[in-house]
């Protein structure tokens, strides 16, 4: 639906808090997968994936990933290509509302394809997650050298997405080879956000 600010807001289905796949099974089946089918993701599947990456899991606002000082310096963007009931485009995840806010509509696949060194997995996926980080909140509280806390948190979020994808029978991989400023431009990141990783998601082929 449209918001008063003339951009698209996608309300996501509530995430599930349990499921038929045991954690041990998801860990055992977790793999980096680089080939995807052309079948779209469902809105429920996308909802679950963004929630495990940065969603709220406690009434006081704590998230699904551990964060130094509960400062949560990460942000999550999604480039949607083939997801049921969502128009293709770039969106930013809003944890408190569990919704996607439009950044830019349209197909940005070719632009992203050129900046990730033509990685096949990006072009074939149904959606691409971009996890960005802001160092200031962490450094301001913990001082020089505390940037490593941000990197730890990125790892927490990445592993959550990996395990949830495995539990849903989906596929993903971490992509770290890209041009930072070009990825920032594609996803509409402000200057203080640094893209850390991309995670294409889709159904395994």
Question: So where are the chain's domains?
Answer: 10-202
The whole-number average pLDDT for the span 48-71 is 97
**What does the block give as tokens for 168?**
């849903």
Q: Which of 31, 12, 172, 148 is nearest to 86 (CA)?
A: 12
> Which superfamily, per CATH, for 10-202?
NADH Oxidase (3.40.109.10)
Structure tokens at 55: 């969603």
**134-183 pLDDT, tens per residue?**
999 999 999 999 999 999 999 999 999 999 999 999 999 999 989 999 99
pLDDT band at 205 (very low <50, low <70, confident <90, very high): confident
The SS3 call for residue 107 is coil
For tokens 């963007």, name the residue.
Answer: 77
Alpha helices in 30-146 (DSSP H): 43-54, 109-115, 120-124, 136-142
How high is the pLDDT of residue 4?
Answer: 39
End-to-end CA distance of the chain: 32
The pLDDT assigned to 96 comes to 97
């Amino acid at each position: 639906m449209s918001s008063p600010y003339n951009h698209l807001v996608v309300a996501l289905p509530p995430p599930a808090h349990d499921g038929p796949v045991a954690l041990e099974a998801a860990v055992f089946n977790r793999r980096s997968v680089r080939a995807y089918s052309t079948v779209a993701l469902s809105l429920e599947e996308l909802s679950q994936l963004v929630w495990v990456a940065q969603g709220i899991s406690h009434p006081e606002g704590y998230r699904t990933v551990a964060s130094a000082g509960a400062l949560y310096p990460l942000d999550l963007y999604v480039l949607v290509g083939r997801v049921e009931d969502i128009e293709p485009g770039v969106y930013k995840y809003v944890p408190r509302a569990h919704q996607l806010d439009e950044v830019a509509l349209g197909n940005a696949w070719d632009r992203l394809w050129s900046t990730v060194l033509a990685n096949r997995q990006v072009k074939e996926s149904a959606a691409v997650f971009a996890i960005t980080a802001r160092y200031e909140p962490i450094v301001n509280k913990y001082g020089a050298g505390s940037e490593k806390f941000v990197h730890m948190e990125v790892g927490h979020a990445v592993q959550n997405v990996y395990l949830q994808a495995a539990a849903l029978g989906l596929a993903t991989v971490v992509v770290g080879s890209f041009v930072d400023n070009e990825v920032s431009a594609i996803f509409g990141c402000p200057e203080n956000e640094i893209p850390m990783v991309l995670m294409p998601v889709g159904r395994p082929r």
